[in-house]
Amino acid sequence: MRFASSISAVAALLASAASAAGVVGAAEGFAKGVTGGGNASPVYPKTNAELVSYLGDNQARVIVLTKTFDFTGSEGTASGSGCAPWGTGSACQVAINQNGWCDNYQKSAPKVSVSYDKAGTLGITVKSNKSLIGQGSAGVIKGKGLRLTGGVKNVIIQNIHVTSINPKYVWGGDAITLDGTDMVWIDHVKTSLIGRQHIVLGESASNRVTISNSEIDGSTSWSATCDGHHYWGIYVTGSSDLVTLKGNYIHHTSGRSPKAAGNALIHAVNNYFYANSGHAFEVDAGGSVLAEGNVFQNVKAPVDSTVGGQLFTVSNGGGACSSALGRSCQANAFGSSGAFSRADTGFLKNFGGKNVASADTAANANGYVRDRAGVGKI
């Protein structure tokens, strides 16, 4: 008996050692079934160039980050003229004149000089069949984001921190870009100090995406709302985007947290929204959002007052979910937050036949989401 139990103890140790170099858990919701690099032998990049090469080649890979990869300065600095649409106060972000944005859209804004890191402006190319995972809390990518475009499929990004991408500057760079993808899982990722979007799904179809247990940290000294809260959170405007947002901790933002437009269906479930000085959801024409079991704490406006799309907030009961989801939806919970009441139900049928995440009560989510979300927690 003693012998048998020590064998099983060794087996358990081996199993945990094996999983330490691989993805932990599995995606829930729309991207259920994503496998990333599968069981490819893990690789451990040592330099920026190795990381870029592993992410951008055409092989299935499990790429493990054991340190910070700092791209700051790696492509030099650019200087020029920009603009200050939100004022020249020291707490305000200013904008790079990217593609003439200041000249064309901000004609009356004061001109300012800008100096920014070029590496931040375009993310690292990530190809299909990759798992990018961090070891403990060591996996950090600094000064450059990740970019998945042009038909990339089957990618897992887990337990890494993307940070410090020209945070003073709008158009300074995005942390994670999807534009023309399918089956992407972003889990236990932290993003902080970003110039533009923390997560952006562009105009091409990004199809099935799950963003779970992640921390969007909008705390910043340079904000478009000049108040320490980052405006550019999560932007979902593709021609066919199915996004499960589950168990995320989204805090110190002031807008687009998230924005839905294009032809986007967002299932926002059991997220913890905290310290938002503007709005959380922005639901524009073409966007549809089911928000259930979320917690809003100190969120000035859980939804931007102009709703051009469809939004179901479960405020009149979750029964309308039953036929499409096969269950009732969970009510949201609020502390020191604004109103969140919208009962569009016509779009709920779009959940039919899809993988839909389960929902816990908001009271339970209130107890664990902040502690579990982000990097170094798995």
Ligand X SMILES: *[C@@H]1O[C@H](CO)[C@@H](O)[C@H](O)[C@H]1NC(C)=O
Site residues, ligand X (CB under 6 A): 58, 60, 128-129, 154
* Residue 273 CB coordination number (10 Å): 28
Closest contact distance (angstroms) between CB of 129 and ligand X is: 4
What is the Cα–Cα distance from 315 to 300, expressed in whole angstroms? 18
For residue 279, which phi and psi values (nearest 5 degrees)?
A: -120, 155
Region of residue 207 (left: phi > 0; alpha: psi -120 to 50; beta: else): left
Instruction: Report CA Rg, the chain.
Output: 21
Q: Active site residue: 61, 147, 196, 256, which one?
A: 256
- Any catalytic annotation for residue 327? no
CB-nearer residue toward ligand X: 35 or 135: 35
CB-nearer residue toward ligand X: 151 or 346: 151
CB-based burial, 148-187: b 16+ in 10 Å, e otherwise = bbeebebbbbbbbbbbbbbbbbbbbbbbbbbbbbbbbbbb
CB-nearer residue toward ligand X: 130 or 229: 130
What is the Cα–Cα distance from 253 to 233, expressed in whole angstroms? 7
CB-nearer residue toward ligand X: 130 or 259: 130
Closest contact distance (angstroms) between CB of 151 and ligand X is: 8
Region of residue 314 (left: phi > 0; alpha: psi -120 to 50; beta: else): left
The partner residues of 272 in beta bridges, in order of sequence, read 249, 295
Closest contact distance (angstroms) between CB of 93 and ligand X is: 37
Closest contact distance (angstroms) between CB of 60 and ligand X is: 6
Active site residues: 256
